[in-house]
């Protein structure tokens, strides 16, 4: 029984990888999907996997470095400085987290290109390619760094810094001895999150015509080029390995500092005028590009052609989004509860933690393609005709994709909730003769409720915004949720429909961010 959580998590990780390996080593016959037979070497050459891998890693590295610098500075301003409007700007800088990357990319391309209102006025070239994709991803990922580094700063006490200053240590020495050991794990986690996000992003690079692994992999899967998809998927998987290794190296041997019962925050320093101006400029750029410009642009798209037909047609995508979000959230929570319980109460919590977070390192486009190849391999190996179509059309592959992609987002708050449950109450109730069901109803359900609510909010919003898994694994079901609607309508230049669906997605995302503030301590 104790091995069930680990087996469950490893199955979610290995299933798409096994499908990927089978598609690479035993591609289907050309007659099945058309095309000529090619060797592995020819597939690698024609797919241009190596240049695409280099470009993906370059994009990821640039985005991670700039986001780390900006996010750390914003976190320091929020936690250690004092200037007018600090609280409002700090919260506003987090709001781009609610905007899907493909939606922000569509807005920026429309407004900052030569024919857009801003790009036309400034004489800008077409907003496509590697640099625009980096700008879009930096706007989205900088709040992630601000959250992680800001949390590390908020948990630290000023006692060590004051003691070092009393002993005559310089600012450089204080930073190296006091702050660097505390910020190093936060920086490693931030680099890992941002780099993985950038290398696995599909929406922004697709909208901005940036040729990287994720975009080419989607094209290969969409056109049923199985061998090429397997090669590109393997290259994309290889792109995540050095990121994890680099993050572990940066983190180093993490030192467990003694925790202060009531940490005393450091006194806030008044910023000089040049720093205040620089702070306002950075916040204005991030909030303007990440929140204000998308809201205004989507609203204008909607107002240009708003009618009864558009309002009526949006009901179906909303219903499909709520349906997929509700079922997907329930599936993910059920699958995440057992590993969370075992990690919090069992002896192999560390192994389960690493396995769960490994699922988050696999890009969504790779999960979707790997699951498709796994279903195809199942049909070929078992001879069960029609099983591939059934797995795809019934939603089984879609739910597996959601579970593998978002298991870690539900795992963290659920594990925190399990740790918060007092085992002494359970032992007392058991000694008084209370049965298992009654102990769960009276003791564990109230303790798990806040963490479960936080996990549900995080997973539900993540499913609403998810694009590649929904596109590849959900299309055969005939469901067209809001994310699908934005992608489809923008591609077909129906900007009014795309604007309405985008505004609804942003509203749901912003509402979830505000709701999650109530459960922040459980995340």
Nearest-angstrom CA–CA distance, 248 and 243: 9
In-domain check, residue 261: no
- If asked whether residues 20 and 86 sit together in one domain, one would say no
First to last CA, the chain: 27
The predicted-structure confidence for 464-508, as pLDDT tens digits, reads as follows: 888 889 988 888 888 889 888 888 888 877 777 788 888 888 887
Whether residue 37 has pLDDT greater than 50: no
If one counts the domains in the chain, the total is 2
Neighbours of 394 (CB within 10 A): 12
Helix/strand/coil for 482: helix
Whether residue 142 has pLDDT greater than 90: yes
Whether residue 310 has pLDDT greater than 50: yes
In-domain check, residue 262: no
Q: Which helix (H) or strand (E) holds 138?
A: helix 130-155
- If asked whether residues 241 and 321 sit together in one domain, one would say no
The predicted-structure confidence for 378-426, as pLDDT tens digits, reads as follows: 888 888 888 888 998 888 999 999 988 888 778 877 777 777 666 666 6
- If asked whether residues 478 and 398 sit together in one domain, one would say yes
Global pTM reads 0.80
Average model confidence (pLDDT) for the chain?
A: 79
Whether residue 29 has pLDDT greater than 90: no
Classify residue 35 as left (phi > 0), alpha (psi -120 to 50) or beta.
left
pLDDT-based confidence at residue 257 (cuts at 50, 70, 90): very low
Q: What percent of the chain has pLDDT over 90?
A: 15
**How confident is the model at residue 109, as a pLDDT?**
92
**How confident is the model at residue 259, as a pLDDT?**
47
In-domain check, residue 263: no
- If asked whether residues 9 and 124 sit together in one domain, one would say no
Whether residue 171 has pLDDT greater than 70: no
**How confident is the model at residue 39, as a pLDDT?**
63
The predicted-structure confidence for 268-281, as pLDDT tens digits, reads as follows: 778 788 888 888 99
In-domain check, residue 354: yes
CB 399 within 8 A of CB 47: no
Nearest-angstrom CA–CA distance, 50 and 43: 11
State which residues form the domain around 422. 1-37+305-523
- If asked whether residues 85 and 176 sit together in one domain, one would say yes
**How confident is the model at residue 238, as a pLDDT?**
81
- If asked whether residues 294 and 376 sit together in one domain, one would say no
């Amino acid at each position: 029984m104790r091995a069930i959580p680990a087996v469950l998590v490893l199955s979610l990780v290995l299933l798409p990888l096994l499908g990927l390996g089978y598609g690479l080593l035993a591609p289907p016959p050309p007659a099945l999907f058309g095309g000529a037979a090619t060797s592995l070497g020819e597939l690698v050459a024609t797919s241009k996997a190596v240049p695409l891998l280099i470009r993906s890693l370059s994009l990821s590295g640039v985005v991670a470095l700039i986001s780390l610098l900006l996010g750390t500075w914003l976190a320091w301003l929020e936690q250690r400085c004092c200037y007018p409007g600090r609280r409002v700007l700090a919260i506003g800088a987090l709001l781009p987290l609610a905007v899907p990357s493909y939606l922000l990319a569509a807005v920026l391309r429309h407004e900052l290109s030569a024919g857009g209102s801003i790009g036309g006025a400034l004489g800008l070239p077409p907003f496509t390619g590697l640099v625009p994709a980096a700008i879009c991803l930096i706007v989205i990922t900088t709040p992630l760094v601000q959250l992680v580094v800001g949390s590390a700063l908020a948990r630290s006490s000023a006692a060590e810094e004051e003691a070092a200053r009393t002993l005559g240590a310089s600012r450089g020495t204080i930073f190296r001895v006091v702050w660097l050991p505390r910020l190093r794990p936060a920086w490693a986690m931030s680099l890992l999150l941002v780099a993985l996000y950038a290398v696995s992003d599909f929406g922004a690079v697709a909208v901005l015509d940036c040729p990287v692994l994720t975009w080419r992999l989607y094209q290969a899967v969409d056109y049923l080029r199985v061998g090429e998809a397997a090669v590109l998927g393997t290259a994309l998987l290889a792109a995540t390995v050095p990121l994890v290794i680099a993050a572990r190296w940066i983190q180093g041997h993490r030192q467990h500092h003694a925790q202060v019962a009531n940490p005393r925050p450091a006194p806030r320093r008044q910023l000089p005028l040049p720093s205040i101006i620089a702070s306002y400029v950075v916040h204005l750029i991030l909030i303007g590009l990440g929140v204000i410009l998308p809201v205004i642009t989507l609203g204008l798209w909607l107002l240009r052609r708003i009618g009864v037909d558009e309002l009526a047609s949006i009901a179906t995508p909303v219903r499909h989004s709520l349906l997929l979000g509700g079922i997907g959230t329930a599936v993910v929570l059920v699958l995440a509860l057992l590993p969370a319980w075992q990690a919090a109460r069992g002896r192999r919590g560390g192994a389960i933690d690493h396995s769960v977070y490994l699922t988050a390192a696999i890009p969504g486009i790779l999960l979707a393609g790997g699951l498709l190849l796994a279903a195809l391999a199942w049909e070929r190996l078992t001879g069960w005709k029609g099983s591939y179509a059934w797995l795809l059309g019934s939603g089984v592959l879609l739910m597996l994709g959601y579970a593998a992609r978002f298991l870690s987002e539900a795992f963290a708050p659920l594990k925190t909730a399990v740790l918060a449950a007092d085992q002494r109450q359970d032992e007392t109730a058991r000694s008084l003769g209370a049965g298992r069901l009654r102990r769960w109803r009276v003791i564990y359900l109230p303790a798990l409720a806040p963490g479960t609510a936080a996990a549900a909010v995080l997973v539900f919003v993540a499913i609403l915004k998810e694009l590649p898994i929904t596109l590849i694994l959900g299309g055969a079901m005939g469901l067209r949720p809001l994310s699908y609607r934005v992608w489809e309508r923008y591609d077909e230049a129906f900007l009014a429909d795309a604007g309405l669906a985008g505004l609804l997605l942003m509203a749901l995302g912003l509402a979830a961010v505000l709701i999650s503030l109530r459960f922040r301590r459980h995340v």
